[in-house]
C-alpha cells in the first residue's frame, strides 16, 4: 500500500527543504514551490478522503518501529475525527499560500516556514504515537513564532514571544500527562491506540493527568481564562498567519481534547464534565461579549473564535458526560463539524479582514463606512462569512451548532443558555457590517480597489465550502459519524 498518509504529511517538509537549498531564488519561484507543495498535499489529503475510514479504530495506519523497548514508534493514521481536520488543514494552507503570493520580502523563508508549519499541523492530526504528537505539537509553535516575528505588524516581536512562551508553558503539562500515560500502560508504550483501547490510568492518577491535559488544551483552544494570547497573536500576525492560527492551530487544542482527554481518560472527564461544560459555556458567552466590545476587526474575529471554540468544548464535555451513545455521537459530531466549519469560515474572515487592512492600513471599524459600495466583492464576501459565523442556517456553522446545542440540552438542559451566544454574535457581526460596510462611503476610501484574482482565488474556495457545509453537512458528517458512532464503550 502506498504510504499515502506519510507522503501527504512530509510533502510540505520536502518542499521546505527544497526551498532551503534554493538560495537566491526569486520570490515568484519560492511561492510557486510553496503552492505546488501545498497543492500536492491537498491532493494527497483528497485521496486520503477518498480512501475513507472504517468505523473501527484508525484507518490508513502506517507504522515504522523506532525504539521498540520504549514502545515509541513512528505511527500515523486517521479516523473519522482526524480525517476532516486533515483535509481542512490542507485546504487552508493551500489557500493561505495562494494568498501570500504577493509577499516579496524574504519570500523563501516565509514559504519554507509555512510548509514546515503545515507538516507540523498535519502531523498532530495523524500522529498515533504520543511522542510524535508532542513533537509536532511543539514544532508548530516554532513555525508560527517565526512567521509572526518575521512578517507581522508593528508589535510583532512582543506578540510572537508572548504567544510562543505562553503556549509553550501551556504545553508542558501535556508532556507530564503523556509520561503518566506511558508509565501507566501495560506494557509501557507510547502508542495512542492502546491508550484509547484500554485507558491506562484510573482514579486520582487519571484525574491529575486529565487536569494536566486540560490545562494544555485549554490554553491552545483557547478557553477563558487562558485565552488572552489569542487576540494579541492574531492582530500582529500576517494575514495568512492569522488564517492558519485560527483555522488550524486552535483545532490542535480541541483535537487533543477529543483524542486525549475524552478517549484516554474517559471516566475522569466524565467526572469533570460539569466543570468543563460550564467553562465552555462561560468561555463561549464571554468571547461573544468581548467581541461585541471590539473596534478592531481582527480582534473582533479573534474573540469570535473563543466563542466558537467554546461550543466545541461544550460538545466534548457533553459527549463525556452522557451514557447514551446516540447523544454522545450527536455532541461529538457537532463538535468535530464545528472545528471544520470554524476553520473554513474564520479562515475566510481573516483573509477578508487582511485584504481590507492591506488596502486601508487600518483595522479600526470606525475608520470605515459604506465599503459595500466601494469594494462590493469584498463586502459581500464578508457579509456571507459573517452570517455563516453567526450561525445562519444554510451556511457552515449551523449544523454543527445545532448538534452541539441539542446534545447539550439532552444532558445539561440548563447549559442550553449557551444559545444566547447566537444572539450576541448576531449583534456583533451586524454592528461590524453596519459600521464598516453600510452607509455612505467616506471620501478617502472611494479609490479602494476590489479583490484581485489572487485574493478571489484564495477566498472563493472557502466561501464555497461554507455554503457546501451548510447545505450538505452530511458529506462530512458521514465520515465523522462513522467514528463517533462507536467511540466510547
Residue 294 engages other proteins in binding (rule: CB under 8 A): yes
CB closer to other proteins out of 239 and 336: 336
CB closer to other proteins out of 166 and 217: 166
Local structure of 68: helix, strand or coil: coil
- Part in contact with other proteins (CB under 8 A); list of ranges 116-124, 315-323, 340-348, 470-478: 470-478
Please list every residue from 53 through 92 that binds other proteins, using CB under 8 A.
Answer: none
Residue 423 engages other proteins in binding (rule: CB under 8 A): yes
Residue 434 engages other proteins in binding (rule: CB under 8 A): yes
- Part in contact with other proteins (CB under 8 A); list of ranges 28-36, 60-68, 236-244, 328-336: 328-336
Considering only 298, 308, 328, 481, the residue that binds other proteins (CB under 8 A) is 481
- Part in contact with other proteins (CB under 8 A); list of ranges 45-53, 103-111, 133-141, 466-474: 466-474
Q: Which cell numbers hold the place of 401?
A: 451548532
CB proximity list for 199: less than 8 A, separation 6 or greater: 206, 263, 264, 265, 266, 267
CA 322/CA 415 separation, integer angstroms? 14
Residue 446 engages other proteins in binding (rule: CB under 8 A): no
Q: Is 58 exposed, middle or buried (0-12, 13-18, 19+ CB in 10 A)?
A: buried
Residue 330 engages other proteins in binding (rule: CB under 8 A): yes
Residue 422 engages other proteins in binding (rule: CB under 8 A): yes
Residue 109 engages other proteins in binding (rule: CB under 8 A): no
Considering only 141, 314, 419, 487, the residue that binds other proteins (CB under 8 A) is 419
Q: Are 125 and 86 in contact (CB under 8 A)?
A: yes
Considering only 232, 246, 312, 321, the residue that binds other proteins (CB under 8 A) is 232
Residue 398 engages other proteins in binding (rule: CB under 8 A): yes
* Contact characters 151-190, other proteins, x per CB under 8 A: -----------x--xx------------------------
SS3 content of the chain, % helix, strand, coil (to 5): 75, 5, 20
CA 300/CA 297 separation, integer angstroms? 5
Residue 381 engages other proteins in binding (rule: CB under 8 A): no
Q: What DSSP character marks residue 438?
A: S
Q: Is 67 exposed, middle or buried (0-12, 13-18, 19+ CB in 10 A)?
A: exposed
Is residue 368 within a helix (H) or strand (E), and if so which, with residue range? none
DSSP of 217-242: HHHHTT-TTTTTHHHHHHHHS-HHHH
Considering only 93, 134, 311, 387, the residue that binds other proteins (CB under 8 A) is 387
Residue 424 engages other proteins in binding (rule: CB under 8 A): yes
Is residue 111 within a helix (H) or strand (E), and if so which, with residue range? helix 107-126
Q: Are 94 and 117 in contact (CB under 8 A)?
A: no
Residue 370 engages other proteins in binding (rule: CB under 8 A): yes
CA 255/CA 250 separation, integer angstroms? 9
Q: What DSSP character marks residue 185?
A: S
Give least dist CB 262 to other proteins, A: 19
Residue 367 engages other proteins in binding (rule: CB under 8 A): no
Q: Is 212 exposed, middle or buried (0-12, 13-18, 19+ CB in 10 A)?
A: buried
Residues in contact with other proteins by the rule CB under 8 A: 162, 165-166, 225, 228-229, 231-232, 286, 289-294, 326, 329-330, 333, 370, 372-373, 387, 392-394, 398-399, 402-403, 405-406, 409-410, 413, 416, 419-420, 422-424, 426-428, 430-431, 433-434, 437-441, 472-474, 477, 481
Amino acid at each position: 500500500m502506498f504510504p499515502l498518509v506519510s507522503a501527504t504529511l512530509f510533502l510540505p517538509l520536502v518542499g521546505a527543504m527544497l526551498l532551503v537549498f534554493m538560495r537566491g531564488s526569486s520570490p515568484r519561484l519560492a511561492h510557486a514551490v510553496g503552492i505546488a507543495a501545498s497543492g500536492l498535499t491537498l491532493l494527497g489529503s483528497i485521496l486520503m478522503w477518498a480512501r475513507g475510514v472504517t468505523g473501527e479504530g484508525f484507518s490508513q495506519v502506517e507504522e515504522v518501529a523506532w525504539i521498540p523497548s520504549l514502545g515509541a514508534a513512528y505511527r500515523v493514521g486517521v479516523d473519522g475525527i482526524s480525517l476532516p481536520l486533515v483535509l481542512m488543514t490542507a485546504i487552508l494552507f493551500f489557500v493561505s499560500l495562494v494568498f501570500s503570493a504577493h509577499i516579496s520580502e524574504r519570500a523563501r523563508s516565509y514559504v519554507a516556514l509555512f510548509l514546515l508549519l503545515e507538516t507540523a499541523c498535519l502531523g498532530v492530526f495523524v500522529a498515533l504515537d504520543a511522542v510524535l504528537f508532542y513533537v509536532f505539537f511543539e514544532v508548530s509553535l516554532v513555525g508560527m513564532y517565526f512567521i509572526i516575528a518575521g512578517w507581522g505588524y508593528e508589535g510583532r516581536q512582543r506578540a510572537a514571544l508572548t504567544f510562543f512562551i505562553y503556549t509553550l508553558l501551556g504545553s508542558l503539562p501535556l508532556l507530564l500527562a503523556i509520561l503518566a500515560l506511558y508509565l501507566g500502560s501495560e506494557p509501557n508504550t507510547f502508542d495512542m491506540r492502546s491508550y484509547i483501547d484500554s485507558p491506562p490510568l484510573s482514579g486520582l492518577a487519571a484525574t491529575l493527568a486529565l487536569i494536566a491535559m486540560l490545562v494544555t488544551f485549554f490554553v491552545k483552544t483557547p478557553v477563558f481564562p487562558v485565552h488572552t494570547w489569542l487576540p494579541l497573536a492574531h492582530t500582529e500576525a500576517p494575514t495568512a498567519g492569522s488564517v492558519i492560527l485560527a483555522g488550524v492551530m486552535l483545532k490542535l487544542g480541541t483535537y487533543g481534547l477529543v483524542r486525549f482527554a475524552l478517549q484516554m481518560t474517559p471516566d475522569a472527564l466524565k467526572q469533570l464534565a460539569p466543570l468543563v461544560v460550564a467553562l465552555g459555556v462561560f468561555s463561549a458567552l464571554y468571547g461573544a461579549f468581548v467581541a461585541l466590545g471590539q473596534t478592531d476587526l481582527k480582534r473582533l474575529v479573534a474573540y469570535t473564535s473563543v466563542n466558537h471554540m467554546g461550543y466545541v468544548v461544550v460538545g466534548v464535555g457533553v459527549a463525556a458526560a452522557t451514557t447514551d451513545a446516540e447523544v454522545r455521537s450527536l455532541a461529538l459530531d457537532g463538535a468535530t463539524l464545528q472545528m471544520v466549519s470554524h476553520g473554513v469560515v474564520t479562515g475566510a474572515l481573516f483573509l477578508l479582514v487582511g485584504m481590507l487592512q492591506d488596502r486601508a492600513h487600518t483595522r479600526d471599524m470606525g475608520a470605515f463606512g459604506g465599503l459595500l459600495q466601494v469594494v462590493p466583492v469584498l463586502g459581500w464576501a464578508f457579509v456571507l462569512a459573517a452570517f455563516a459565523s453567526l450561525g445562519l442556517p444554510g451556511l457552515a456553522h449551523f449544523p454543527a451548532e445545532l448538534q452541539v446545542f441539542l446534545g447539550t440540552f439532552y444532558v445539561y438542559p440548563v447549559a442550553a443558555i449557551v444559545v444566547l451566544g447566537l444572539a450576541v454574535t448576531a449583534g456583533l457581526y451586524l454592528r461590524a457590517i453596519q459600521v464598516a460596510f453600510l452607509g455612505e462611503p467616506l471620501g478617502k476610501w472611494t479609490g479602494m480597489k476590489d479583490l484581485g484574482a489572487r485574493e478571489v482565488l484564495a477566498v472563493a474556495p472557502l466561501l464555497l465550502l461554507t455554503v457546501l457545509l451548510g447545505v450538505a453537512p452530511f458529506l462530512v458528517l458521514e465520515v465523522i459519524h462513522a467514528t463517533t458512532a462507536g467511540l466510547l464503550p
